[in-house]
Amino acid sequence: MHDPRALLEMGAEAVRRLARRGYTLDLDRLEELSSRRNKRVQAADQLRAESNRVAHEVPKVVRSGGDASELKERARQLKEQIRDAEAEQEQLQADLRDFLLGIPNLPLDAVPDGDSEDFAVEIRRHGTPTSFSFEPKDHVDLGEAMGILDFGRATKLSGPRFSVAKGAGAALERGLATFFLDLHTRHHGYTECSVPNLVTPETMTGTGQLPKFEEDLFKTGVGSRQLYLIPTAEVPLTNLHADEIIDASALPIAYTAHTPCYRSEAGSYGRDTRGILRLHQFAKVELVRVCEAEKSQTELEKMLSHAEACLKELGLPYRVIMLAAGDMGFSAQVTYDIEVWLPSQQRYREISSCSDCGTFQARRAAIRVRDKAGKKSFAATLNGSGLPIGRTLAAVMEQYQQQDGSILVPDVLVPYVGFKAIGPDGAPRA
């Protein structure tokens, strides 16, 4: 969430930067809300000051034998006026907060203009896509022929956009998750966390999913409690330090978690409906970093390298792009996407997004840093996929398929699954 004073001081510059995201900032409305709130705060303070003065006068008049009835009546009136002023102040504060919560993060000037993937800027490529001597199949045909993926029975259980992995397919999913966690905790310095999959509205608000993107979320409740299923482990991991002040000496903080993720995919129907690229429920290993604001860009490059390392270890060709301003997530000020090569589509497809959110989420979640001098400031937060299990499984299956319908297992995964290949019949091969 933004500081209204900072936006008003930036003025036309804030309008310009947000326009790059396709958002029109109404400065007049912001000025009006902020001014009315501030005036009501001042008025309430003045009423409380007068109330305190009257409260001190009443006993003095009584002790001197005077008539305090008028003072007592004024005290009663002030009490009502203060109550009304505080209620109005609270409403104005809520109106201002709602307005600010709907404003996305300001994109950095280094981010390219544009509102779609067509405007992304390629940063680099790694690896060369495999040339097959046969027509490569997609992961759906491979998985169903081998009996390790079952979309029909998943639909029977839950409807479209769900999947079931069986046998060697389930083992590969488990192996990928464990491999990613080991890589990040043993080599990249992350602390593994096991976090709730259900969180409060306040937690969702802290990372920017609420209030704007409620239609993308699955929600439930117990009694009067309303809870949301997490769309990514970024939500609970980042909010672990909500309403906290962290000593700068403890930074950077690096967390990772393997969780299911739940997304309604509102507005995406008709896109990637085949296979496991866009499901309502999928598993992901997430990376989150918390640091001092001035170090966020360095931390972003570090996180990006950690996500890339997963693909390098698996031997999967990929490219890195910087997203255009209008194509970034709500909370990001800059985002790198990693796109893995899918042989069946003959194109690179997104497999990871690594975003620097600056202080945007920390302001919403009240995550602050205390430096050596005791000065407090808002932290910077970053998040990235490291990696999603389903999309990685699809890439491995397609990249390592053989002409006879079997699939080789990447060397780094063999210790995790206990076999080197999956036969055309779905049976593991030692």
Q: What tens digit of pLDDT does each residue of 188-224 get? A: 999 999 999 999 999 999 999 999 999 999 999 888 8
Tell me what the mean pLDDT of segment 107-112 comes to.
98
Instruction: Mark the binding-site residues for L-serine, compressed into ranges.
Output: 232-234, 263, 286, 383, 385
- Burial grade of 194 (CB within 10 A; 0-12, 13-18, 19 or more): exposed
- Give catalytic status of residue 353 as yes or no: yes
Cβ(246)–Cβ(379) under 8 Å? yes
pLDDT for residue 273: 73
Instruction: Mark the binding-site residues for ATP, compressed into ranges.
Output: 263-265, 350-353
User: Of the CATH numbers 2.160.20.80, 3.90.1860.10, 2.60.40.1260, 3.30.930.10, which one belongs to the domain with range 117-429?
Assistant: 3.30.930.10
pLDDT for residue 265: 80
**pLDDT of residue 157 exceeding 90:** yes
The radius of gyration of the chain's CA atoms, rounded to the nearest angstrom, is 27
Instruction: Mark the binding-site residues, compressed into ranges.
Output: 232-234, 263-265, 286, 350-353, 383, 385
In sequence order, what are the residues at sequence separation of 6 or more whose Cβ sits closer than 8 angstroms to the Cβ of residue 147? 166, 167, 425, 426
Cα-Cα-Cα-Cα dihedral sign, residues 291, 292, 296, 302: negative
Cβ(429)–Cβ(423) under 8 Å? yes
pLDDT for residue 138: 96
Matching residue, tokens 């069946």? 344
Tell me what the mean pLDDT of segment 357-380 comes to.
98
pLDDT for residue 252: 98
Matching residue, tokens 């990637």? 272
pLDDT for residue 266: 67
Tell me what the mean pLDDT of segment 95-101 comes to.
97
Summarize pLDDT for 134-144 with one digit per residue, the tens.
999 999 999 99
Is 396 in a helix, a strand, or coil? helix
Banded model confidence at residue 179, pLDDT cuts 50, 70, 90: very high
The pair of three-digit structure tokens given for residue 206, joined into one six-digit string: 């802290």
In sequence order, what are the residues at sequence separation of 6 or more whose Cβ sits closer than 8 angstroms to the Cβ of residue 42? none
**pLDDT of residue 394 exceeding 90:** yes
Tell me what the mean pLDDT of segment 254-281 comes to.
86
37, 363, 391, 398: which one is catalytic? 391
Q: Do domains 4-102 and 117-429 have the same CATH topology?
A: no
37, 161, 263, 363: which one is catalytic? 263
**pLDDT of residue 57 exceeding 60:** yes
Strand pairing report for 198-199 and 191-192? unpaired
Tell me what the mean pLDDT of segment 328-354 comes to.
98
- Give catalytic status of residue 278 as yes or no: yes
Query: Where in the chain are the domains?
Result: 4-102, 117-429
57, 214, 350, 368: which one is catalytic? 350
Summarize pLDDT for 16-48 with one digit per residue, the tens.
999 999 999 999 999 999 999 999 999 999 999
Tell me what the mean pLDDT of segment 273-278 comes to.
88
Supply the DSSP string of 207-247, one letter for each residue. Answer: HT-TTTTGGGS-EEEETTEEEEE-SSTHHHHHHTTTTEEEE
**pLDDT of residue 304 exceeding 80:** yes
**pLDDT of residue 406 exceeding 80:** yes
**pLDDT of residue 269 exceeding 60:** no
pLDDT for residue 221: 83
- Give catalytic status of residue 34 as yes or no: no
pLDDT for residue 332: 98
Share the mean pLDDT of the chain.
96
pLDDT for residue 267: 58
- Give catalytic status of residue 153 as yes or no: no
| Single-letter amino acid, residue 49 | A
**pLDDT of residue 76 exceeding 90:** yes
Cβ(325)–Cβ(21) under 8 Å? yes
Tell me what the mean pLDDT of segment 227-254 comes to.
98
- Give catalytic status of residue 391 as yes or no: yes
Q: Cα angle at 219 between 258 and 107, to 5 degrees?
A: 65
pLDDT for residue 347: 97
Give the Cα separation of 169 and 22 in Å (integer). 42
**pLDDT of residue 360 exceeding 70:** yes
Cβ(154)–Cβ(281) under 8 Å? no
Per mean pLDDT, which range of 261-275, 369-383, 386-400 is the poorest? 261-275
- Class in CATH terms, 4-102: mainly alpha
Cβ(30)–Cβ(79) under 8 Å? no
pLDDT for residue 30: 98
36, 48, 74, 278: which one is catalytic? 278
**Distance between alpha carbon 71 and the CA centroid of its chain, in Å?**
56
**pLDDT of residue 175 exceeding 80:** yes
Give the Cα separation of 182 and 175 in Å (integer). 10
pLDDT for residue 386: 98
Give the Cα separation of 325 and 107 in Å (integer). 6
**pLDDT of residue 271 exceeding 80:** no
The pair of three-digit structure tokens given for residue 180, joined into one six-digit string: 């990613």
Per mean pLDDT, which range of 2-6, 129-133, 269-273 is the poorest? 269-273
